[in-house]
Amino acid sequence: MTINANDKVVMTLDAGGTNFVFSAIHDGKEIVRPVHLPSNGHDLTLCLNTIIRGFEEVSKALPIPPYAISFAFPGPADYRNGIIGDLANLPAFRGGVALGPMLEEHFQIPVYINNDGDLFVYGEARYGFLPALNKRLEKIGSSRRYKHLFGVTLGTGFGGGLVVDGNLYLGENGAASEICLTQNAFNPKNYAEENISARAIIREYYRNGGELLEGLSPHDVYRIATGEKQGNKAAALSSFEIFGKALGTALVNAITLLDAPVVIGGGLSNAWPLFAPHMFEQINGHYSTDDGRQMVHLVSKAINYEDPEALDCLSSGDLKKVKVPFSNRIVNYFPGKINIIGRSILGTSTAVALGAYAFAIQESKISHAYPL
């Protein structure tokens, strides 16, 4: 592979609780064979040496020296300063571990660490869902174009991220888009993730009459719901219905504040056909006021990106021309407010890696990550 010496190569890491996967990206493409190493999350020294070793192996395989390191790592963390807090899946991390500064000191290049939800939506905004959405709108003759994007990941937990005008929004404390902590739709004393996660799918299956099955996974519940596996189909369908309604409620709150399209990723997004109808029903539903009136959940209407007929309706009638009073001037008018929701275009892990790459390139133009 020929890479110009002035080009920027960014090394990345997919940090799981069991395994670490190291790679490198150039111009939005993976350019090395990924390096897989056990995380050794029970032993801090061993885990940190594993991280250094993984990046060293990737660096040796590169045609030019790496420009930066950028990756997602579990929280809680002070991502802005590269400090990792007390982690559930990597128990050796306790009391604040300066992972970013350590890597900068070792490799002498900028290091950027972020939440996977943030990097997921940044990757989709730069390379996936957002450009695909705008290209599709152009193709069908719509005048609409979107430049902001909110994203959520559905899996073990419920993560989020926000891109505004092409820039990842992290918040004053690096804690923006923590949608998992919004109020639970079914239990106001609890938080949203308790009904929007892998454990919620399994719990609700049992709660709705599903028989006890050893080692039951959300994928098993999905297969029961679709008739591919023996089990209580009604309980499985009910589990995804509750999941969809809870997700819809959380997204109503997010869209109300952010007014942006939404991209959905994570392993549970593969169950889209089961939960999406309930999610959209909730998003486009109504409140009932004390005096008997109905009030829409959202000012805008949410449209399913995966429904061609729903999106194609924007090809006509979404832009009107109106005359300025007391003038011959004509101006554009969008009478309907629309936001579009769909699944990841890139795939979650690819979007996170590309988001990490794009974030490193963008941030390196502004400042060094951590003072050496």
Burial call 93-116: b when 16+ CB within 10 Å, e when fewer: beeebebbbbbbeebebbbbbbbb
Report pLDDT digits (tens) over 266-287: 999 999 999 999 999 999 988 8
Helix (H/G/I), strand (E/B), else coil: 208: coil
| Element (DSSP H or E) covering residue 113 | strand 111-114
Please report, rounded to a whole number, the percentage of residues in the chain having pLDDT higher than 70: 95
Is pLDDT above 50 for 230? yes
pLDDT confidence band for 371 (50 / 70 / 90): very low
Nearest Cα neighbor of 80 from 172, 10, 13 is 172
Q: Give residue 320's pLDDT.
A: 81
Domains delineated in the chain: 9-114+360-364 (3.30.420.40), 129-345 (3.30.420.40)
Give the tokens for residue 71. Answer: 């990756």
Max Cα separation, the chain?
75
Query: What does pLDDT average to over the chain?
Result: 89
**Alpha helix segments (H runs only) across 12-96:** 44-61
Interval 57-72 mean pLDDT: 94
Residue among 235, 264, 230, 259 nearest 247 (CA): 264
Q: Identify the helix (H) or strand (E) that includes residue 369.
A: none
Give the separation between CA 137 and CA 292, rounded to whole angstroms.
Answer: 38
pLDDT of residue 337: 84
pLDDT-based confidence at residue 333 (cuts at 50, 70, 90): confident
The answer to whether residue 328 scores a pLDDT higher than 50 is yes
Could you give the angle at the alpha carbon of 19 between the alpha carbons of 46 and 87, nearest 5°? 70
- What are the residue ranges of helices labelled H in the chain? 44-61, 99-107, 116-127, 129-139, 198-207, 218-225, 233-258, 272-283, 308-312, 348-364
| This prediction's pTM | 0.88
Tokens 């002498």 correspond to: 108
* Cβ contacts of 132 within 8 Å, gap of 6 or more: 345
Q: Has residue 205 got a pLDDT over 70?
A: yes
The residues that bridge with 302 in the sheet, in sequence order, are 339
Instruction: Say how far apart CA 30 and CA 11 lie, in whole Å.
Output: 10
The length of the chain in residues reads 372
Beta bridge mates, 321: 332
Q: What are the DSSP calls for 119-167, one per residue?
A: HHHHHHHHHSHHHHHHHHHHHTT-------EEEEEESSSEEEEEEETTE
The two structure tokens encoding residue 93: 């991390």
| DSSP output for 236-276 | HHHHHHHHHHHHHHHHHHHHHHH---EEEESGGGGGHHHHH
pLDDT of residue 372: 42
Which pLDDT tens digit goes with each residue over 21-48? 999 999 888 899 999 999 888 899 999 9
9, 62 contact by CB (below 8 A): yes
Q: Tell me the three state secondary structure of residue 293.
A: coil
Question: What is the average per-residue pLDDT within 104-110?
Answer: 95
Check residue 3 and give its pLDDT: 59
Hey, what's the torsion of the CAs at 85, 119, 182, 195, to 10 degrees? -100
